[in-house]
Chain A
Amino acid sequence: MAKAIRYALPVVGLLMLASGAYLGLVWVPAERDMGDVARIMYVHVPAVWMMLLASLLNFGASLWYLFRASWKVDALAEAGAEISLLFGVIGVLLGAIWAKPTWGVYWNWDPRLTSVTIMLVTYAGYMALRRFVEDPERRARWSAVAGVFLAANSVLVWYSVKWFNSLHQTQSSPKTTYPELVLTLRWNSFAFLFIAIWFIWLRYDLAMQTRRSEVAPPEPPPAAAGSPA
């Protein structure tokens, strides 16, 4: 069953992504104020949502590890961090591409954009921490602590639109936008979701395999030549 889902995820996700590209680039009418430039929103917004989802996974797993340590939970935390970093970088790059024609610059110090970048740098530090600690048990425990510290950062990202004045568009609700936009955005979001889950699954497997090889008892030395066995 798990295997079936594991193979279905990328297929469904990629199919939805391809059809979502058609929806976003061709089917949906151009946005009233921003014109065709707004079409990048249909991939930028899902990418950022996946980043936040994966970071939530990392936070949950880090917290869970502190209460009940297990390799699986640690592997989930590692997968969450790396996938969050991946989608975050994609989201920021797509946002920069959108920003150039809209704001005139690739980058400005808009609070939400700045907070996301801080979060990505923090995750890079988290990954570095995991690389620099060799003992698996210590690595898991310290990463869990770092993950919880990171969560304070993540909160700041999501609420920064509400706490500061910002150039970033405030969150729209489906009630204020027209239905084609909502459908396209939702379609693409689910496409990204399936792909993100697939990536996390793959990364989790990789982490578990690495853990097994680290924790495995050393192999017995080969029998000396001439001995009976």
Chain B
Amino acid sequence: MTAPAPAPVRPGLLRSALVILQKDLLIEWRSRARINALVFFALSTMLLFSFALGPDTRLLGRSAGGYLWLAIMFSSVLALGESFRVESENAALDGLRLLPVDARAIFLGKAAGNAVLLLILAAVLVPVTLAVYDVRALLGLPRLLGVLVLGCLAISAPGTVYAAIASQSRARDVLLPLLLFPILIPALIACSKAATLVLHGDAMNELESWTGLLIGFNVAYWSLGLLLFPNVIED
């Protein structure tokens, strides 16, 4: 008599999340349409800021950290919206739900994917910012990178939850920024301030407070997202 087949092992949370992350990055890599659109949109936005606020290069230089984060935030609306539009084709989201995959793994995978995409965008924008606004990273590029990582994670967590909601409702293009921007304001303040400090120097040791706020923001919204995402995509 043959041995009974081994019971199928249900994938763990992190493993499922990793698979979803790989899937999204692979889809993105194949066409690279989203990242291209994001980069050019962000560059246009930064140009718009420069033209709107005049040719005074000193003023532009002082506000460079803010413009960088505004450009990333506006682009994030596109990125986040697209990340769930891809799931609405061929009822892909239903397929994901029907698999024995924890909804929380979908959140982790998608939010991580969005964060990676935003980080790539940010990495492209940094040399542009340094050149166009004529600034240097006074406190060093590693610190700037740290701020970028924290900021992209901060945008991604609530963004993924709200993108999932908005993609399933009417007026999705309006609803996502309307819901997301007020939630992101603390993160935007912290990221802009931190970026400005890294670019222009930190005479009063404020960087630690702002990064502390960013870390707190991330902890709060990643935990909330993990807990509440199943409510958002399950029927």
Do chains A and B interact in one complex?
Answer: yes
Tell me the smallest distance from the CB of A223 to a CB of chain B, in Å. 36
Mask: chain A, 141-172; 1 = CB below 8 Å from B; 0 = not: 11011101100110010000000000000000
How far does the alpha carbon of A149 sit from the alpha carbon of B165 in the complex, in Å? Answer: 13
Asked whether any CB of chain B lies closer than 8 Å to the CB of A15, the reply is: no
Residue contact A148 to B178, C-beta cutoff 8 Å: no
Residue contact B183 to A153, C-beta cutoff 8 Å: yes
> Out of A119, A122, A129, A156, which one reaches B165, CB within 8 Å?
A129
Residue contact B220 to A132, C-beta cutoff 8 Å: no
| Smallest Cβ-Cβ distance to A126: which chain B residue | B179
Asked whether any CB of chain A lies closer than 8 Å to the CB of B205, the reply is: no
* Chain B contact residues, majority secondary structure: helix
Residues in A whose Cβ lies below 8 Å from that of B220: 152
> Out of A121, A133, A145, which one reaches B182, CB within 8 Å?
A121
Tell me the smallest distance from the CB of A216 to a CB of chain B, in Å. 21
The stretch of B54-62, B91-99, B134-142, B169-177 that contacts the partner chain: B169-177
Residues in B whose Cβ lies below 8 Å from that of A146: 162, 165, 179
Residue contact B228 to A133, C-beta cutoff 8 Å: no
How far does the alpha carbon of A125 sit from the alpha carbon of B158 in the complex, in Å? Answer: 14
Residues in A whose Cβ lies below 8 Å from that of B86: none
Asked whether any CB of chain B lies closer than 8 Å to the CB of A186, the reply is: no
Residues in B whose Cβ lies below 8 Å from that of A129: 165, 169, 175, 179
How far does the alpha carbon of A144 sit from the alpha carbon of B165 in the complex, in Å? Answer: 12
Residue contact A153 to B170, C-beta cutoff 8 Å: no
> What's the tally of chain A residues with a CB closer than 8 Å to chain B?
24
Residues in B whose Cβ lies below 8 Å from that of A33: none
Tell me the smallest distance from the CB of B113 to a CB of chain A, in Å. 20
Residue contact B228 to A153, C-beta cutoff 8 Å: no
> Out of B168, B170, B171, B232, which one reaches A145, CB within 8 Å?
B232
Asked whether any CB of chain B lies closer than 8 Å to the CB of A134, the reply is: yes
Residue contact B231 to A132, C-beta cutoff 8 Å: no
Tell me the smallest distance from the CB of B216 to a CB of chain A, in Å. 10
Mask: chain B, 216-230; 1 = CB below 8 Å from A; 0 = not: 000011001000100
Residue contact B168 to A156, C-beta cutoff 8 Å: no
Tell me the smallest distance from the CB of A116 to a CB of chain B, in Å. 12
How far does the alpha carbon of A126 sit from the alpha carbon of B175 in the complex, in Å? Answer: 10
Residues in B whose Cβ lies below 8 Å from that of A138: 168-169
Asked whether any CB of chain B lies closer than 8 Å to the CB of A66, the reply is: yes
Residues in A whose Cβ lies below 8 Å from that of B175: 128-129, 132
Asked whether any CB of chain A lies closer than 8 Å to the CB of B186, the reply is: yes
Residues in A whose Cβ lies below 8 Å from that of B224: 148-149, 152
Residue contact B232 to A128, C-beta cutoff 8 Å: no
Residue contact A132 to B169, C-beta cutoff 8 Å: yes
> Out of A66, A118, A122, which one reaches B228, CB within 8 Å?
A66
How far does the alpha carbon of A118 sit from the alpha carbon of B228 in the complex, in Å? Answer: 22
Tell me the smallest distance from the CB of A42 to a CB of chain B, in Å. 30
Residue contact B178 to A145, C-beta cutoff 8 Å: no
Mask: chain A, 191-217; 1 = CB below 8 Å from B; 0 = not: 000000000000000000000000000
Give chain B's interface residues, CB within 8 Å of chain A: 158, 161-162, 165, 168-171, 174-175, 178-179, 182-183, 185-186, 220-221, 224, 228, 231-232
Q: List 11 A-B contacts (CB under 8 A).
A: A125-B182, A128-B178, A128-B179, A129-B169, A133-B169, A142-B169, A145-B231, A145-B232, A149-B161, A149-B224, A153-B182
For the complex of A and B, list the 3 residue pairs with the smallest distance between their C-beta atoms, beginning with the closest.
A122-B182, A121-B182, A133-B169
Apart from A125-B182, A138-B169, what are 9 other A-B pairs with CB-CB below 8 Å? A118-B186, A122-B182, A125-B179, A129-B179, A132-B170, A138-B168, A141-B232, A145-B231, A145-B232
